[in-house]
Structure 1
Amino acid sequence: MTPMHADAPAEPSANGQAVAPRFQVQAYPLALRIVGAALQVLITADILCASALVVAATFTGAMNPKPPALAGWLALLAIVLFGFTRLIRWRTAATFSVEPSRFVLQRRDEQFEIPVTAVESARVWRLPLPGAGLSLRMKSGRSFQYALQVADPLPVLEAMGAEARHPLTAFAHARAVVVRRRWYHLAFKFVLFPLVPAVIMFQLNQRITYGGPFAQYHMYGLGPYLQGFITYWSYFTALLVLFASIWRVLAELVAFAAAWISPLRVRGVRRFVEVAVAVLYYGGFCSLVAWKFLQ
C-alpha cells in the first residue's frame, strides 16, 4: 500500500498565498467505469473486425468490387459507441484539488471534501481502462466511491504527497508526456495517408481496366467512378488500421516491460518506441506496397 502524508505541496499564487493544485479528472463510480472500459474494448474490437472484413472480402474477383456491407454497419456501430464514451466523459468530468488538510472532488452537481487523515493510500489502476487513473483507499478499509481517471497520475500523486515510484505510474507518465496525439494526427494517419496508395492503385486499375485515368467516368458516370475510388481508399485505410495495430501492440509491450525493468528510463524507451513505430508505419508500409508492386 502507498503511504499518505498530510504535507501535500501547494503552489504559491501571485499574491504569495498558497493555491491548491487542481487537476481535471473523470470521476467514475464503479459501475460507470466498468461500462466505460467495456465500451473501449468493444470499439477496438469493432474497428479491427470491420477492418479485417474490408481487407478479406473487398477484392474477391468481382467485376465491381466494394467493401462488404457488414463492415459499414460495424463502422457505424463504432461511431455510436464512441458517442456513448463522449457522453460518459461529459457526465463524469470533475476537478480534484489537493489542499494541505483535505482533498476536494468537485463534480457537476456535488462536492466531496476528504480529510487527508482519512485516506490510507492512493493506488494506480492495475488495468488502465477506460484510461490511466487512481483510486483512493480509505482507512476504513473501503475505496472512495469515485475512481479518478487522469492521463498522467504522477503529478496528482506528487501533489498528494503519495509514493509515486510504481512502474505503472512511470508507464502512464511516460505515455502522457511523450504520446500527445490530437485529432488531426489521427486524421493524417488514417484518412490522408491512405490516399497515397489508394490513388496510385486506383489509377493503375483505371488504366488497365478501362484504358485511361477517367475512362470509367466517361463510360459509366461519376457515381461508379467515385465508388471505385472509395473502395480503394477504404481498403487501404482498413489495411493500415491493421498494420498500425500490430506495431502499437508491440510498442506498448516494450514500453510496459521497460517500466517494470527500469522505471527511470521508461521515458527514453517510450520516445524511441514511438519514433520506431512511426518509421515502421509510414516507411514500412510504403516499402511493402513497392515490394508487392515490383514482384
Structure 2
Amino acid sequence: MHAADASAEPSADGRIIAPRFQVHAYGRVPRILGAVLQVLLVADLLYLSLLIVFDTFTGALNPTPPAQAGWLALLALVLFGLLQLLRWFSAATFLVEPERLVLERRGDRFEIPLSSVVSIQLWRLPLPGAGLSLRMKSGRTFQYSPQVSDPLPLLEALGRHNPELSATARPSLTAFAHARAMIVRQRWYHLAFKFVLFPLLPAGIMFRANQYITYGGPFGQYQMYGLGPYLQSLGTYWTFFTAVLVLLAVLLRVPSELIAFIGAWLSPPHARGVRRFVEVANAVLYYVGFPAFMAARFFL
C-alpha cells in the first residue's frame, strides 16, 4: 500500500499535523507466514501454468487442460484469500511526530520515543512487501514492523525531526523500493488486461486457425457438435495462452528486478531511470515481442 500524507501540513490553528501513513504492521510470525503464503502462491501459479502448457495439447481431437489444473487453481484462490485476510488483520496507521512514532493497529496504540530508536532497517527481502524495522537501544527490534511499498516519504518525514536516524536506512534499498513504488503501479484492471484480455489475442488467432484446419470453417465445430464444445475449445486455447503469458511474465520479471536492484545499488539517484527503462523493455517484450514471435513462428 502506498504511503499517504507524506508531508506535514499546518492545521487551521497553525499547529503541525503529524504525517500519517497507511501501513501493514507485522509481527515476526505473521510476516513469516505472509512471506510463505506469497511464495506458495507464486509456486502454485508457476506449476499450474507449466502443467497447462505441457499437458493440454497431447494429440487429442478435443484437448482440454488437465483435471489437476482445476485443483491448483482452487488452491491459488485459497492462498490469495489467506494473504488478503492477513493484510486486513495487519492494517495499521503510522504517525511521525516530533518526539515520537505512533503505531495504531486494530485498537492498540504504541508510542515509541524517537530517542529510543537506534536505527531504521529496511527489509532486505521484500516479503510480503517492502518495509522497515525499528532497531531499539535495547538491541531488540520493535515487535511490529511496518510494511510500506514506498519507504522514502516516511523516511523524509522522520528526517525532519531526526536526520541522523533516517540516515541509518540504506540508500540503495530505499531508492530501489521508491522507484518500484513510483513506476510499477499495477491495479487490478492492469492485471486483468495483462492476463485475461490480452491472451484472447493469440488464443483467438490459433482457435480460428484450428477451426479452419480441423473443421473446415470458422464455425465448423459449432455446426457439427454444438455451442458447448465450441466454447470449450475456445476456452482451452485461452487457458493455454494465459499460462504461456504467465510464464513469460515471470521470465521477464526476474531479470527486470535484478537489473533494477543492481542499478539502485550502483547509483541510487538513477534508480528511477533504470526502473523506468526495464519496465518499458518488459512491456515491449510482452505486448509486442510475443505476438511478433508467434507471427514469425506460425505464419512466416
TM-score normalized with structure 2 length: 0.93
Residue 201 in 1 paired to residue 206 in 2?
yes
| 1-structure distance, mates of 2:263, 2:252 | 16
Comparing 203-212 with 90-99, greater Cα deviation is found at 203-212
Return the match for 1:92 from 86, 90, 93.
90
Return the match for 1:294 from 289, 294, 299.
299
Q: Which residue in 2 is equivalent to 1:38?
A: 36
Deviation at 1:14, TM superposition (A): 4.0
Contact 1:104 1:113 in 2 (8 A): yes
Which amino acid letter does the alignment assign opposite residue 196 of structure 1? Answer: L
| Higher relative contact order, chain-length normalized (CA < 8 Å, sep 6+) | 1
1:66-123 CA-to-partner distances (Å, cap 9, x unmatched) read 1111122111111110000000010000000000011100011211011111111111
Q: Which residue in 2 is equivalent to 1:20?
A: 18
Q: Structure 2: state its 5+ residue gaps.
A: 1-6, 160-165
Residue 131 in 1 paired to residue 129 in 2?
yes
| 1-structure distance, mates of 2:54, 2:221 | 25
Q: Which residue in 2 is equivalent to 1:56?
A: 54
Contact 1:10 1:100 in 2 (8 A): no
Contact 2:215 2:221 in 1 (8 A): yes
Q: Which residue in 2 is equivalent to 1:149?
A: 147
| 1-structure distance, mates of 2:116, 2:249 | 45
Q: Which residue in 2 is equivalent to 1:3?
A: none
| 1-structure distance, mates of 2:254, 2:125 | 16
Contact 2:100 2:114 in 1 (8 A): yes
| 2-structure distance, mates of 1:134, 1:210 | 59
| 2-structure distance, mates of 1:118, 1:224 | 68
* Matched-pair identity in %: 67
Q: Which residue in 2 is equivalent to 1:119?
A: 117
Deviation at 1:241, TM superposition (A): 0.6
| 1-structure distance, mates of 2:202, 2:115 | 60
Q: Which residue in 1 is equivalent to 2:281?
A: 276
Comparing 205-214 with 23-32, greater Cα deviation is found at 205-214
Return the match for 1:107 from 105, 108, 125.
105
Return the match for 1:251 from 246, 253, 256.
256
CA RMSD of aligned residues (A): 1.1
Moved over 3 A (4+): none
TM-score normalized with structure 1 length: 0.95
1:17-61 CA-to-partner distances (Å, cap 9, x unmatched) read 100000000000100000000011011111011001111111111
Contact 1:27 1:94 in 2 (8 A): yes
Return the match for 1:232 from 229, 237, 258.
237
Residue 260 in 1 paired to residue 287 in 2?
no
Deviation at 1:10, TM superposition (A): 4.0
Contact 2:176 2:268 in 1 (8 A): yes
The number of residue pairs the alignment matches comes to 287
Residue 216 in 1 paired to residue 214 in 2?
no
Contact 2:121 2:170 in 1 (8 A): no
